[in-house]
């Protein structure tokens, strides 16, 4: 910010970092806004990369930290036309302006506070500070219009409410149940980013409950949502709740987590239902699960695209649920050296906890691990490379 200022530009800290600092929270990252154009920013910083098409902005790397630096944006027209789709969604948005243009483009009042390094003042055009004090999340402008411009703001509303313990202002809350369907047009890659922020930030359980409550969950995990609606026993809700709770706890304890494990949990019931169908058509259990895994995953990635390593992990965890059942002879020793063994065992424990018919099996494995002094490493859901882990396991057994 000082480098920008010394070069004659304006520079403000903005967004989540200002909000979090005011709330006494540790900011996850820092966003800076300036009147320098992306190309001008690049001239000032060697460690700078310009990214984005819809929003062109600069990423400046300092060690392991990336500071997002964007240029003030001018208002956009709310009618269909240049840069908008017919339903009002913004697809291109690179018209530059000044701070008093930029502020209206931000989503929530609490995200639209600017900290000015020139005189250490806080610039508040939209009543963000009083909303922070009231612990209230309020969209700037007309909520319906703002959700139509960018439906992902509905997910952001839930995410910030959950993360900050804020309530949604009634006018911000009310349209969500009518506009949720707009999320259907959001590119699956963008929804993946939101999925990560919603579920890998320590508030997964609360996010899940609120997304279900507002009817948004169906747009992220359609098959899971349908299965939840039919879940009279509460088994599936229990499975998801426990997995989210564990994820949240692990994150507060600084233990590693991976979305692959959550994908396995989220799609478990849809996958099992499919596999049952295939089995009744004569496929073996292994083949049925393999085919059902393919089907469940290919349906899911239409909503949220995911890196292959996460879906692959889910496949392996599911496949191992069958293989764990056959534990005679040397098999268990081979199985524990499988790179996904620990995740699969944790998955089995999760199923046991919520009353799936695997009590004896889970206990058998627990006893086996204790008997063979195989340490309970915190390996659930880690993404570590296989060879190292295989080596570790072998050493643990002998």
- Give the residue with the Cβ less far from ligand ATP, 103 or 369: 103
Question: 32 is written with which tokens?
Answer: 């800076």
Decide if 29 is catalytic: yes
Is 31 a binding residue for ligand ATP by CB under 6 A? The answer is: yes
- To Mg ion, the closest distance from the beta carbon of 351 in angstroms equals 37
- To Mg ion, the closest distance from the beta carbon of 34 in angstroms equals 16
Is 150 a binding residue for ligand ATP by CB under 6 A? The answer is: yes
Residue 75 sits at the vertex; the CA angle it makes with 74 and 78, to the nearest 5 degrees, is: 150
Q: Which of 258, 394, 236 is nearest to 313 (CA)?
A: 258
E strand residue ranges, the chain: 11-14, 31-34, 48-51, 57-62, 65-71, 113-116, 121-124, 136-137, 167-168
Is 59 strand, coil or helix?
Answer: strand
- Give the residue with the Cβ less far from ligand ATP, 137 or 381: 137
**Burial grade of 12 (CB within 10 A; 0-12, 13-18, 19 or more):** buried
- Give the residue with the Cβ less far from ligand ATP, 109 or 293: 109
153 binds, among Mg ion, ligand ATP, none (CB under 5 to 8 A by kind): ligand ATP
Cα separations in angstroms, 252 against 183, 200, 317, 335 = 30, 11, 24, 30
As a residue count, the chain comes to 398
Is 111 a binding residue for ligand ATP by CB under 6 A? The answer is: yes
How does DSSP classify residue 383?
A: -
Give the number of C-alpha atoms closer than 13 A to the C-alpha of residue 328, restricted to the C-beta side.
0
Is 175 a binding residue for Mg ion by CB under 5 A? The answer is: no
Is 76 a binding residue for ligand ATP by CB under 6 A? The answer is: no
Stretch that binds ligand ATP, among 24-32, 222-230, 251-259, 347-355 (CB under 6 A): 24-32
Question: 345 is written with which tokens?
Answer: 């065992």
Is 194 a binding residue for ligand ATP by CB under 6 A? The answer is: no
Which of 1, 71, 76, 107 touches ligand ATP by CB under 6 A? Answer: 107
Candidates 20, 93, 102, 107; catalytic one: 107
Report the chain's C-alpha Rg in angstroms.
Answer: 24
Q: One symbol per residue from 14 to 43: x for binding Mg ion (CB under 5 A), - otherwise; what is it?
A: --x------------x-x------------
Candidates 29, 100, 287, 363; catalytic one: 29
- To ligand ATP, the closest distance from the beta carbon of 27 in angstroms equals 7
Decide if 100 is catalytic: no
At 147, give phi and psi (nearest 5°): -70, -35
Residue 254 makes CB contacts below 8 A (sequence gap 6+) with: none
Determine the size of the site formed for Mg ion (CB under 5 A).
3
- Give the residue with the Cβ less far from ligand ATP, 32 or 343: 32
Is 152 a binding residue for ligand ATP by CB under 6 A? The answer is: yes
Residues identified as active-site: 29, 31, 107
For Mg ion, the binding residues (CB under 5 A) are 16, 29, 31
Q: Which residues bind ligand ATP (CB under 6 A)?
A: 15-16, 28-29, 31, 106-107, 111-112, 150, 152-153, 197
């Amino acid at each position: 910010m000082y480098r920008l200022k010394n070069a004659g530009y304006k520079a403000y800290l903005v967004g989540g970092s200002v909000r979090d600092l005011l709330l006494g929270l540790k900011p996850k990252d820092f966003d800076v806004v300036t009147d320098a154009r992306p190309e001008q920013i690049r001239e000032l910083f060697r460690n700078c990369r310009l990214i984005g098409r819809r929003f062109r902005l600069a990423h400046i790397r300092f060690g392991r930290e990336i500071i997002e630096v964007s240029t003030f944006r001018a208002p956009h027209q709310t009618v269909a036309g240049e840069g908008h789709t017919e339903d009002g969604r913004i697809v291109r948005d690179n018209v530059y302006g000044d701070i008093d243009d930029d502020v209206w483009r931000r989503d929530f009042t609490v995200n639209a506070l600017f900290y000015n390094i020139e005189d250490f003042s806080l610039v508040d055009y939209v009543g963000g500070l009083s909303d922070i004090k009231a612990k209230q999340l309020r969209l700037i402008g007309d909520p319906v219009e703002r959700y139509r411009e960018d439906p992902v703001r509905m997910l952001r509303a839930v995410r910030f409410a959950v993360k900050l313990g804020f309530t949604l202002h009634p006018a911000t809350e009310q349209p969500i149940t009518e506009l949720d369907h707009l999320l259907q047009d959001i590119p699956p890659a963008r929804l993946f980013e939101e999925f990560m922020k919603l579920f890998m930030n320590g508030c997964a359980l609360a996010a899940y409950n609120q997304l279900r409550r507002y009817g948004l969950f169906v747009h992220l995990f359609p098959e899971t949502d349908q299965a939840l609606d039919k879940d009279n026993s509460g088994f599936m809700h229990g499975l998801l709740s426990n997995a989210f709770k564990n994820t949240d706890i692990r994150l507060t304890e600084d233990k590693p987590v991976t979305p692959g494990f959550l994908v396995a949990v989220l799609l478990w019931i849809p996958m099992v239902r499919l596999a049952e169908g295939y089995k009744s058509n004569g496929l073996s259990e292994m083949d049925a699960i393999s085919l059902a895994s393919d089907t469940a995953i290919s349906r899911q990635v239409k909503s949220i695209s995911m890196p292959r390593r996460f879906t692959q992990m889910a496949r392996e965890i599911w496949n191992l649920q069958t293989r764990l059942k056959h534990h005679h002879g040397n098999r268990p020793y081979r199985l524990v050296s499988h790179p996904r063994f620990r995740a699969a065992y944790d998955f089995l424990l999760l199923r046991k906890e919520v009353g799936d018919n695997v009590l004896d099996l889970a206990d058998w494995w627990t006893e086996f691990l204790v008997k063979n002094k195989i340490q309970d490493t915190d390996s659930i859901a880690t993404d570590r490379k296989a060879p190292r882990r295989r080596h570790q396991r072998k050493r643990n057994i002998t």
